[in-house]
Amino acid sequence: MSKKYFYFFFLWVSFSLSAQEGITYRLDAFGSLSSGNYTPFWIISNTYGVVPLKPNNGYLRGDVAWNQSFGKDIKLEAGIDLITAAKHTSDFWIQQLYAGLAYRNIHLTIGEKELYNSLLDNNLSQGDFNFSNNARPISEINISFPHFTTVPYTKGRLKFKADFAIGKFLDKNYVLRTKNQDAPYSVDMLLHHKSLFFRLEDPKEKFPFLLTFGLSHSVQWGGWTSSDNLGQLPESIKDFFKIVFPSSGDENAPDGDQINILGNHLGAIDVWLGYKSTNFQVSAYKQNFYEDNSGLEYANWRDGIWGGEITFFDRPFLKKAVLEFMQTTNQSGPLHFLFYDTNLVPGARGGGNDDYYNNYCYVNGWSYFGKSIGNPLLTSPEYNGDGTVHFKNNRLKSIHLGVEGKIAPALSYRTLFTGMYAWGTMNTPFLKKKNNFSALLECNYEPQKWKDWKMGFQLAFDKGSLYGDNFGCSLKVSKSGIIRF
């Protein structure tokens, strides 16, 4: 553990021991058995990078968190989360280490914390394009309005949520350890992301419809890359403003970043329409992706996540269902012509071949510790068998269904079913279209007589030419509680 983490942990422990409200803790023991080359897709995916890809694995996890309120307006928090695992790329790591301050609806978080800001359902969706819960949390400073907050003078009819963050990728050792000798790579990249969402609704619920819309934006920049022997990339304060307010790089930036804009930019535009009644709420939504200006211009409008969800308030057995269709095959067209080269092909637009999650300069693309930071169906680099670190499959079509509910007061379930076709990338397509079907059945038991104990069982499989045939099961036992002093 580095000195900065040691000092942080020491201060956190000293402060938390003085808390009157106590410290919450959780202990997890997890193990899975699988046939095939990989742990089944829906056992490993959207788990914040915790479950190992290699089959027949397990981990032990322990976290403690402290929360203290001062009146109604101020709240402090801190936490640490440690994991040791078998068959993982790391034997031991710090999953979360953070401190936070909240004043009313404004939250400040420093460190690595499992945050989820997407409008897509955390448990049932296939995953947000920009930030899902698939990869480990990135170390950052994040200031946010995490919950929808009323805009002044709108009488509750207009609400917003937003965040603004700066961070750094800390997966250098992982990249150097897992890549092959000749593979291009990037390390020590910096991160910026922000989002802003608005919601229109009737606070008195006399008008049953509600509309939610917003934009999320992320940037990788700085760091060091082996691509084209570029080496150290610009990361000054001046460059920071160029990535917050996207603009071209100066003479110190790579040629592509001088012609276009500095850094690797991506994000999503969300539009939701909902209807709420006494017994249920139903919503339809579209999340449109963008990697450059062509995406913001909706040149790739065919791509995106088209979804719907329904929540029942009076049916415990069927609490919620999510149905989604995703397409990433268009990518604003098959070819990329920069504006200064359009004379080569008269009438060609500047965009095309958006190559989702990949970038010529920031070679690892939109990944962290080998996992897609966004939607896991765009095949994470950890699946690459040749030691390369980029995304080899980002053109696909998928149908996805997620359902959850309760079989009994102490027994809940979750099911996921995903079918997809995949074509590789525009630059390196598969010689033959690949397919995959993945399914998960999960049950969680929380007996009332064993307070704070939870047992979870999963049964899952993959079938197809993309990930192969994998069948497996997992068991997790958790114990949580409060330590008081």
434: which residues sit within 8 A by CB, 6+ positions away? 393, 421, 422, 423, 424, 464, 465, 466
- Separation between Cα atoms, residue 238 and residue 251, nearest integer Å: 13
What does the pLDDT look like over 113-150, one tens digit per residue? 999 999 999 999 999 999 999 999 999 999 999 999 99
Residue type, 66: W
* Domain boundaries of the chain, sorted by first residue: 105-483
- Average pLDDT (238-242) is 95
What does the pLDDT look like over 318-358, one tens digit per residue? 999 999 999 999 998 776 655 444 455 555 555 678 999 99
- Average pLDDT (376-385) is 97
> Band of the pLDDT at 2, cuts 50, 70, 90?
low
In this predicted structure, the answer to whether residue 8 has a pLDDT above a threshold of 70 is no
State which CATH number among 3.30.160, 2.60.120, 3.40.50, 2.40.160 fits the domain covering 105-483: 2.40.160
Residue with tokens 């504006």: 339
Eight-state DSSP code of residue 124: T
- Separation between Cα atoms, residue 471 and residue 462, nearest integer Å: 6
pLDDT attached to residue 305: 98
Residue with tokens 């069948």: 471
pLDDT attached to residue 6: 46
429: closest CA among 337, 331, 324, 296?
331
In this predicted structure, the answer to whether residue 450 has a pLDDT above a threshold of 60 is yes
pLDDT attached to residue 204: 87
Mean pLDDT over all residues of the chain? 92
Three-class SS state of 239 = helix
Q: Tell me the CA distances in angstroms from 484 to 11, 20, 24, 88, 100, one per residue in order.
A: 19, 7, 9, 34, 21
Q: Kindly report the pTM of this predicted structure.
A: 0.92
- Average pLDDT (363-371) is 97
How many other CB atoms are found less than 10 A from the CB of residue 407?
Answer: 12
* Residue 269 phi, psi (nearest 5): -115, 125
